[in-house]
Copies of this chain bind each other. A is one copy, B any other.
Amino acid sequence: MRYPALTYLSSMPEQIDALIHAKWVIPVMPDCRPLVNHSVAVKQGRIHGVIPTDECETRFNADRETRLLTHALIPGLINAHTHAAMTLFRGMANDLPLMEWLNDHIWPAEQRWADEEFVRLGTRLAMIEMLRSGTTCFNDMYFFPNVVADAAEALNIRTCVGLIVLDFPSAWAQDAEDYLRKGTRLHDELKEFELVTTAFAPHAPYTVSDGPLRKLRMLADEMELPIHMHVHETAFEMEEAVKRNGVRPLERLSRLDMLNHRLLAVHMTQLLPGEIDAIASAGIHVIHCPESNLKLASGLCPVAELIGAGINVALGTDGAASNNDLDMFGELRTAALLAKGVSGNPTSVPAHTALEMATINGARALGLEDVTGSITPGKAADLVAVDLGAPATTPVYDPVAQIVYAASRDQVTHVWVNGRSVVEDGHMSRIDENECLQEANRFSQRLASFDRERAPS
Contact = CB atoms under 8 A, between A and B. Distances in A.
Contacts of A451: 397
A101 interface: yes
Contacts of A393: 90, 325
A351 to B, nearest CB: 6
A96 B346 contact: yes
A295 interface: yes
A218 interface: no
A88 B447 CA distance: 47
A414 B398 CA distance: 31
A90 B392 CA distance: 9
Number of copies: 2
Contact of A401 (B88, B324, B440): B324
Contact of A346 (B101, B346, B401): B101
Contacts of A327: 392, 408
Contacts of A447: 395, 397
A245 interface: no
B350 A295 contact: no
A78 interface: no
Nearest to A345: B297
B391 A433 contact: yes
Contacts of A334: 334, 337
What is the predominant secondary structure among interface residues of chain A facing chain B? helix
B291 A337 contact: yes
A91 B433 CA distance: 35
A297 B98 contact: no
Interface stretch (A110-118, A124-132, A205-213): A124-132
A444 interface: yes
Interface string A318-352: 00100111110010011001101101111110110
B405 A408 contact: no
A297 B441 contact: no
Nearest to A411: B410
The CB with the most chain B CB atoms within 10 A, among A91, A327, A340, A402, is that of A91
A444 B393 CA distance: 12
Contacts of A295: 337, 340, 346, 405
Interface string A116-151: 000000000100110011000000000000000000
A87 B323 CA distance: 29
Interface in A214-239: none
Given A408-B409, A410-B410, A90 B395 contact: yes
A92 interface: yes
Contacts of A344: 297, 299
Nearest to A438: B394
A393 B326 CA distance: 10
A396 interface: yes
B91 A405 contact: yes
Contacts of A293: 341
A26 to B, nearest CB: 14
A348 B297 contact: yes
A346 B97 contact: yes
Contacts of A350: 94-95
Contacts of A297: 340-341, 343-346, 348
Given A295-B405, A327-B392, A394-B441, 11 more contacts: A94-B398, A101-B346, A294-B338, A294-B341, A297-B345, A330-B330, A334-B337, A391-B433, A394-B437, A395-B444, A397-B448
22 contacts: A87-B394, A88-B395, A90-B397, A90-B406, A94-B405, A95-B346, A95-B401, A96-B346, A293-B341, A294-B340, A323-B405, A324-B401, A324-B405, A327-B408, A330-B408, A338-B338, A391-B433, A391-B437, A394-B440, A395-B443, A397-B451, A408-B410
